[in-house]
Structure 1
Amino acid sequence: MMSARPRASSEPPEMMPNLPRRLALGLPALLPAGRALAAWPERPIRLIAPFPPGSGTDILARIIAEPLSRVTGQPVVVENRPGANGVVGAQAAATAPADGTVLLMMGTSVGAINPHTVRRLPYDPARDFAPVGTIAEQPYILVAPPNAPGDLAAWLEAARGRDLTYGYGNAGSLIMGAMLARMAGLKVTGVPYRGSTDALNDLSAGRVDFSFADFGAGLEQGRNGRIRLLAQTLGNAFPLAPDLPLLASAVPGFDAGVWFSVVTPAATSPEIVRQMETALDRVVRDAAFGQRLVALGLAPMHMGSADFGRFLAQQIGAWGERVRMAGIEPQ
């Protein structure tokens, strides 16, 4: 004879005949949370931006917080935790409770560059976070003084055999310059600036030979005639500037850009991560949100949790090679 087994039923008294019906009906609410699918989110969400107010990461976080709040039904509060090129905020997120209430804005610097430039980094971007999904991407733009040859191939031909200087105001621009020198066979000397604006000002005046500009700033100054736009750095056409040549068309294999994503503490339950992934995907695919990205010079980037996890691993390896190419030592 088969032994009696508990069965899913709408008749609690038959399952537990010694309990009053009202108490038996209430038992599911008393079960430990792990026995059922997690209801997410049950509380307000903290979205940590690891850079200061007014930074690109902060602006993007505030743009995404409002529609994400609508989708989830809970307030999404942007919390700025700046310091050490994103290290402070990333560490805060990595050590936060894995209860579905904390998200981190992870960009290229925090996710792929810091592991190679920060000595004793207190977090591991692959181990300490669960990937949720990507938000947006943009390239750098190779730029030259306004009187430079306007054709990429002609500029490279004129540049070979000369001693060139390139201005950089951040780590990304420094690394791009070193990549170009190695891959195109150019002889270059980097000139550091306090920021990208100063580097572009000197470029416009002809004090340096080239630079790599952030997409928005470079496009604006190029359209104003202050600098010459030569190429963009992604390996595929960028929808916001489809006519801008690919640097890879003249320097095969050149493919690098800036991306933004959302992650959560690694121990967050897979079910909650799946719900986060669904919510983020709804926001990123919304047409109105896409228009707000375009206004910032960003294109929507659609990767779910699994695809982004693989992409992040690839990016960590690729940026490691680029950092070594630039001769940057961990500090």
Structure 2
Amino acid sequence: MLALPALLAAGRARAAWPERPIRLIVPFPAGSGTDILARMLADPLGRALGQAVVLENRPGANGVVGAEAAAKAPADGYTLMMMGTSVGAINPHTLRRLPYDPLRDFAPIGSIAETPYVLVVPPAAPGEDLAGWIRAVRGRDLSLGYGNAGGHIMGAMLADMAGLKLTLVPYRGSTEALTDVSTGRLDVTFADFGIGMQQAEAGRVRALAQSLGRPFPLSPGVPPLAATLPGFDASVWFSMVAPAATPAAVLARLEAALGAVLADADLGARLTGHGLAPLRLSAADFGRFLERQWALWGERVRLAGLVAQ
């Protein structure tokens, strides 16, 4: 009897959710691909939920700072996080002391979009295509710049699968590495698809291939690396999650709202304009997808010979 008022109040609070603005943590800096996508989603998601969705950029340590903050936030539906490949599938295998577990500490809401990396070289690089470039540079000492963990792993994959001598050079971000490729200071990099293709179309770099294991519908003229290097397959995907103990009713409403937002044709066109293809998975399906991605990137890290730091 004494507990009944508190239980009724808690039930009313869940039924009324959301009663205040919702925080959406972006574990990367403003201007990053994750941030741009989050900003496209925030306003329509807020309208669907009846409360403002406020972005909070918490960059640092390849997404670890923001992911830790989200994992430790109250599980009341008022904190969400943008989760991508690095935070959800790569960090667990490259960082020894990870303060969160992507499979245990988060509840999936749904997936949003995916995009490949694009392999770019300077305009004057030899070879007409990827196979020709590999033949021309094999045996040379080359530099491959990377601005994130995904680029690092794929650089190691490229060196191994193509038999190339690559020195992997870390950069603060993939944009800086792309700039150095355009000036010839760097031999090759895996660039974010959107900006990499913009630079290629402007003639500042050459796009040799993209990293999905299949043709990418937004750029059918750029072949997959797998056409030359069978088995090469990697993409960047984006999703939305909440702290693990978030009430099921709140998660269901978030999943429905996100699905409605992503069904909007105007938003779809904006995503396409940024090189993002739809990746529509329900919360349950995304949970299984995340488990597969976690295992897949772990195998890639092992094959690349990378040691957790």
TM-score where L is the length of structure 1: 0.84
Structure 2 partner of 1:124: 101
Percent identity reads 67
What's the offset of the Cα at 1:30?
8.2
1:258 to 230, 236, 240: 236
Hey, what's the Cα distance between the residues in 2 that align with 1:39 and 1:179? 50
CA distance in 1, matches of 2:43, 2:12: 32
Q: What is the aligned partner in structure 2 of residue 87 from structure 1?
A: 64
Q: 1:162: how far off?
A: 4.0
The reply on whether 1:317 has 2:295 as its aligned counterpart is: yes
Question: Could you say if the C-alpha distance between residues 290 and 144 of structure 1 is closer, same or farther in structure 2, counting changes exceeding 3 Å?
Answer: same
Please tell me whether the aligned partners of residues 202 and 208 of structure 1 are also in contact (alpha carbons under 8 angstroms). Answer: yes
Which residues in structure 2 correspond to 1:1-331 (within 5 Å)?
31=8, 33=10, 38-147=15-124, 148-331=126-309
Equivalent pairs, count = 305
Asked if structure 2 preserves the Cα contact closer than 8 Å seen for 1:150 and 1:228, the reply is no
Structure 1 residue runs of 5 or longer lacking an equivalent are 1-26
Report the Cα distance in structure 1 between the residues aligned to 2:228 and 2:299, rounded to whole angstroms.
21
DSSP 3-state at the match of 2:308: coil
After superposition, give the CA deviation of every residue in 1:225-278 in whole Å (9 maximum; x if it has no partner). Answer: 121111100122222212210111111111101111100011112222122111
- CA positional deviation for 1:71: 0.9
> Distance between the aligned counterparts of 1:170 and 1:57, measured in 2?
13
- Mapped to 1, the partners of 2:305 and 2:236 lie a distance apart of 20
Give, in whole Å, the separation in 1 of the partners of 2:182 and 2:165.
21
2:123–2:206 Cα contact (<8 Å) kept: yes
Aligned partners of 1:83, 1:222: CA distance in 2, in Å?
29
- Of the structure 1 ranges 200-209 and 52-61, higher mean CA displacement relative to structure 2 is found in 200-209
- Helix, strand or coil: the match of 1:200? helix
What SS is found at the alignment partner of 1:123?
Answer: coil
AA in 2 matched with 1:229: A
Tell me the distance in 1 between the aligned counterparts of 2:141 and 2:31: 37
Residues 62 and 149, structure 2, Cα contact 8 Å, conserved in 1: no
8 Å CA contact retained: 2:22, 2:80: yes
Contact 2:151/2:190, CA 8 A, preserved across alignment = yes
Q: Secondary structure at the match of 1:191?
A: strand
